[in-house]
Amino acid sequence: MIEAKTPKQRRKASKPAEIVKPMPGAELVKSVKRLQRQAPLLAFQGLSELSVRLRRLTGRDLIDLNRVMEVAQFVYKQQQLARRGADYEVDDFGFDPQWTESFLSVFTVLYRDYWRVETTGIENVPATGRALLVSNHAGVLPWDGTMIKTAVFAEHPHPRHVRALVSSQFMGMPMLSWFLRRTGQTVGHPDDTRRLLERDELVLVFPEGVRGTGKGFKDRYRLRRFGRGGFVATAIRSGAPIIPVSVVGSEEIYPMVADLAPVARFLGLPYFPITPTWPWLGPLGMIPLPSKWRIQFHTPIHVEGNPPEAADDNNLVMALSDQVRDTIQQGIYDNLKLRRGVFL
């Protein structure tokens, strides 16, 4: 049985619903969120208009919108990767291929536009299987390793990651060691080298080590000794061909005119460079100079035919080491002749 409503109850039921006013600041929050969503598009439109006006005034394209888009994509990619949380895989050495590839757009700008790298002999790098890349080393900071890695990924018809071996001194620096491991580098130890080669990786080694990056400007493009040929012994044991690599251009990015050894020892560094810009210009002095680069990948030196025990033959190892060194040195001389100038 339905109970009849009293007049008072009927008046309450017929009362219009109360309008709930938005919380103070709610519209502002919505506006900010809307602006955040539209900001990339608005910024790109603004740059496009600025580019058109500058072109009309100067007759040249002063803003490369393609590069702007690459930077925007890089930032967007970093935001996506940051949201992965712990849901990603790294190998035994801490290498994160997906994260590493997100930096390729930045390194490619340096490769193509800043240092204008010309690469030859990229076909000598195998599309599959193991190989040991052996290069000269210079430039205070290891930008040559980054450009070699970029060359193989940007120029090769079958892009591959290159795993560079790094001095233990650099791998002991907290933030730097984390970045190096995440991007595929590892300590330059024969055991680690052999493990990588046995996985059919491309491994990059600098036999000059820190003696190469720390040499003075007056000694530029003169190779240091390659030690006792440990890289050759590792290649023989792993059955990996050796590909000599000559790099021209890295010597001039930070022309080192002096080394403050006492300061280096105090800071635990292999050297403390003095250049025309560092430390005089502070952080700006760390910006590398835009020298013209050439990278040449030479014909592989095949050591796979040797039995593993041949790695213990010092005469053979040193002979092959000298052959690799001579090939790199001659390649440096040849490529220096092709340059019209340091910055041309």
User: Are 209 and 241 found together in one domain?
Assistant: yes
Residue 82: the pLDDT is 73
User: Are 266 and 322 found together in one domain?
Assistant: no
> pTM for this one?
0.81
Q: Is 83 helix (H, G, I), strand (E, B) or coil?
A: coil
User: Are 223 and 305 found together in one domain?
Assistant: yes
User: Are 283 and 299 found together in one domain?
Assistant: no
Residue 61: the pLDDT is 65
Structural domain contains residue 76 = no
Structural domain contains residue 179 = yes
Q: Are 302 and 124 in contact (CB under 8 A)?
A: no
User: Are 273 and 310 found together in one domain?
Assistant: no
Domain range holding 178? 119-251+293-338
Structural domain contains residue 224 = yes
User: Are 203 and 333 found together in one domain?
Assistant: yes
User: Are 160 and 219 found together in one domain?
Assistant: yes
Structural domain contains residue 140 = yes
Residue 310: the pLDDT is 96
User: Are 280 and 198 found together in one domain?
Assistant: no
User: Are 150 and 258 found together in one domain?
Assistant: no
Structural domain contains residue 221 = yes
Within 59-203, where are the H helices? 65-82, 97-101, 104-109, 143-155, 168-171, 174-182, 190-198
User: Are 196 and 331 found together in one domain?
Assistant: yes
Q: What is the pLDDT tens value at each position of the chain, 344 positions in all?
A: 555 556 555 555 555 555 555 556 666 666 666 666 666 566 656 656 766 776 777 776 655 666 666 666 777 777 777 777 766 788 888 899 988 999 888 899 999 999 999 999 999 999 999 999 999 998 888 899 999 999 999 999 999 999 999 887 777 777 888 888 999 999 888 889 999 999 999 999 999 988 888 888 988 999 988 888 899 999 999 999 999 999 999 999 999 999 999 998 888 888 899 999 999 999 999 999 999 999 999 999 999 999 999 999 999 999 999 999 999 999 999 999 999 999 98
Number of domains forming the structure of the chain: 2
User: Are 123 and 218 found together in one domain?
Assistant: yes
Alpha-carbon distance of 143 to 137, in angstroms, equals 9
Structural domain contains residue 18 = no
User: How would you classify residue 85: left for phi > 0, otherwise alpha for psi between -120 and 50, otherwise beta?
Assistant: left
Structural domain contains residue 244 = yes
User: pLDDT for 20-50, tens place per residue?
Assistant: 555 566 666 666 666 666 665 666 566 567 6
Instruction: Please give the DSSP secondary-structure letter assigned to residue 111.
Output: I
